[in-house]
Amino acid sequence: MPTALLDLILPPRCAGCDAPGALVCPRCTAELHGEPACRMPTPSPPGLPECWSATGYAGAARRTIIAYKERGRTALARPLAGALALTAAAAAGGRPVTLVPVPSARSAVRRRGHDPVTRLTELAAGCLRAAGWPATVARVLAQRRGVADQAGLNSLQRAANLALAFEVAAGRKGPAVSSWGGAGPVVLVDDIITTGSTLAEAARALREAGVTVPLAVTLAATRRKGESSSP
């Protein structure tokens, strides 16, 4: 039976700590929301926008993200989107936002049965609008070619794997970009930032279409070796 269906018919257990009673318990929700802040990878690839994340990719946050992306617990999209919305609000500093999701690889979408980042982006925009914050979603990025799984690749390998991997979808280029840019900043959205290669490549594709991309937001930032565990 699919995990998403089990979440509907069985008493929920926290994805972060396995405690009964909620999809994400209050303690793990607090850990997931963390402290939205600018967390840039070191070194950062050229062209990387200013990157904000809700928390570090560890503990309850890591377990919850994996459960959502890889274990079919799609009901976790709403609590995760709440953390993403808070991060976008902190990054934008009161301005309206246009959120642009980074598309998943086609093979990953087939394996998972959904595009997790696009779903989170749409829900996060809904959270912002419900709070009175102007937010739109522009699904304008597309994959130009296939890419390999990024797991296990170092920063140079990730950059090579993603080089020229994205483009602005046909029909969204040229004068059309002015119709979805909005009054505030364009904000790239992904789930995790590790080396920054994915977000840098996505930003390049948008800049080539004439779109300025000052910000990116993610749920979590992977800590590099030797980095402090503090936010």
Between 9 and 20, the higher pLDDT residue: 20
Q: What is the pLDDT of residues 39-52, one digit of tens each?
A: 999 999 999 999 99
Give this prediction's pTM: 0.83
Q: Which residues contact 190 (CB under 8 A, 6 or more apart)?
A: 101, 102, 117, 198, 199, 202, 216, 218
Residue-number span of the structural domain to which 217 is assigned: 35-65+76-221
Q: What is the pLDDT of residues 165-175, one digit of tens each?
A: 788 986 554 44
> How far, in Å, CA of 231 to CA of 228, rounded?
8
Instruction: Note whether residue 20 is domain-resident.
Output: no
CATH number at residue 199: 3.40.50
Lowest mean pLDDT among 87-96, 104-113, 216-225: 104-113
Tell me whether residue 51 is exposed, middle or buried, using C-beta atoms within 10 angstroms of its C-beta: 0 to 12, 13 to 18, 19 or more: buried
> How far, in Å, CA of 181 to CA of 209, rounded?
12
Other Cβ atoms closer than 10 A to 50: 15
| Predicted confidence band of residue 176 (pLDDT cuts 50, 70, 90) | very low
Q: Which amino acid is at 120?
A: L
Instruction: Note whether residue 56 is domain-resident.
Output: yes
* Strand 37-38 to 50-56 pairing: antiparallel
Please count the structural domains in the chain.
1
**DSSP type of residue 223:** P
Q: What is the pLDDT of residues 116-154, one digit of tens each?
A: 999 999 999 999 999 999 999 999 998 865 665 555 555
Residue whose C-alpha is closest to residue 121's, from 81, 173, 180, 178? 81
Instruction: Note whether residue 212 is domain-resident.
Output: yes
Instruction: Note whether residue 28 is domain-resident.
Output: no
Q: What is the pLDDT of residues 96-119, one digit of tens each?
A: 999 999 988 766 666 667 789 999
